[in-house]
Amino acid sequence: MDRVEGTSEPHREWKTIFVTGGAGYIGSHCILTLLEAGYTVVTVDNFTNAVGIVKDGHSCVAPSIQRVEQITGKKVIFHHCDLLDKKKLSEVFAEQKIDCVIHFAAMKAVGESMQVPFLYYKNNIMGTINLLEVMAENNCHEFVFSSSCTVYGDPGDALPITEEHPTGGVTNVYGRTKFFIEEMLKDIYNADKRWNIVLLRYFNPVGAHPSGIIGEDPTKPFANLMPYMAQVAIGTKPSLTIFGTDYETEDGTGVRDYIHIMDLAEGHVAALSKLKREPSLGLKAYNLGTGKGVTVLQLVHTFERVTGTTLTLDLKDRREGDIVAMYADPSLAEKELGWTAKRSIEEMCRDFWKWQTQNPTGYRGDVSHMIPAAKSNLSESATVSLTNGNHSAVNGH
């Protein structure tokens, strides 16, 4: 991809980072690492994929952000804002001198994206266009995009997968929105070299902050493996459905690259450092994964061993479109960002279990006080694919 090589220009001092989708899973953990790294954070969320609570009968607060403040002892500037509301987004953006934007906000469920494609294209792509326009209007051209390994499609035997692997050929609407946004960002950079863009292609984030104070709290039917496992383990779900046990893998189940959420969050701080060091970086993509493939059953059995629980499994036939294996070659991120995934599968399971047992109902508390947009997304049942687990995108991933 086109880019301008790094220069020896002085290291830039940045203070304020604008984070979209900050109330969600990945966003909240990333904000915590940003605060710990000394940044000021301004964040927005519309609570499509994150819990929002009504306060004083009118204003909305994000409990995940409040807990981040509790852990760090630092304040976050939060606004309840939808990226489709460009006027409000402009007003929020204009209140601060923003140095860089990290863009998480997106609708995230693969299955849902196939049922309501218009909604996904409008929210994910139009929201991103609004954001980029507002950035340009405020002379901000530093951008980190929350992308996904889904942009690679089915890698076949090309594993581990590098950033040079062709993108496209994506089999679901959610993944296509990520791919289309990447292509749009390439075009924007080629047209205007003031832009400095890092594409972070996530593999499969799991786990929680080791304190157990923040974690993953899906507001829609569970589509990610670990929250579903934990719900079965604590008895709020009857069994864990696994689609496909006859793949050509060690135990017949699909292989994925699971990465601890804190490793992923630290990857964003590393990306910011790269942008600061190289003002003429241009546009560059990096895989954020461990480089190790783990089968679904291996993760399940590790979770059982670490938590001392036994999960009831419902084994079903594979589904059309599910891929056999996907795991990263993260060597470019290690070489150029100085970043590697350090935490083990056992830590992922232990930290998530601590979050789940300390917060059996997540952030929700009394749902009668949730804002309507979030409350309407709650569901008590779901069918989940545990073999096609590409990263959850998030309006707060």
- Tens of pLDDT, residue by residue over 162-177, are 999 999 989 899 999 9
In the residue annotation, 247 being an active-site residue is answered as no
> Residue 391 has what pLDDT?
37
What pLDDT score was predicted for residue 57? 64
CATH annotation of 16-375:
3.40.50.720
pTM: 0.90
State the average pLDDT for the chain: 89
- Nearest in space to 18 (alpha carbons), one of 184, 194, 199, 142: 142
Q: What integer pLDDT is reported at residue 171 of this predicted model? A: 86
Are the C-beta atoms of residues 288 and 206 closer than 8 Å to each other?
Answer: no
Which residue among 39, 174, 189, 247 is the active-site one? 174
Structure tokens at 355: 């979050």
At 110, the pLDDT band (50, 70, 90 cuts) reads confident
Structural domain spans, the chain: 16-375
Torsional sign, CA 286, 11, 262, 45: negative
| Residues 110-118, mean pLDDT to the nearest whole number | 91
**Do 148 and 177 touch, CB atoms closer than 8 A?**
no
Average pLDDT over residues 149-153: 95
What is the tens place of the pLDDT at every residue in 211-244? 999 999 988 775 689 999 999 999 999 999 999 9
* Exposed / middle / buried, residue 273 (Cβ in 10 Å: 0-12, 13-18, 19+): middle
At 309-337, the pLDDT tens digits run 999 999 999 877 789 999 999 999 999 99
Which pLDDT value is given to residue 249? 96
Give me the amino acid identity at 124: N
First to last CA, the chain: 27
The whole-number pLDDT of residue 8 equals 41
* Whether the predicted pLDDT of 370 surpasses 90: no
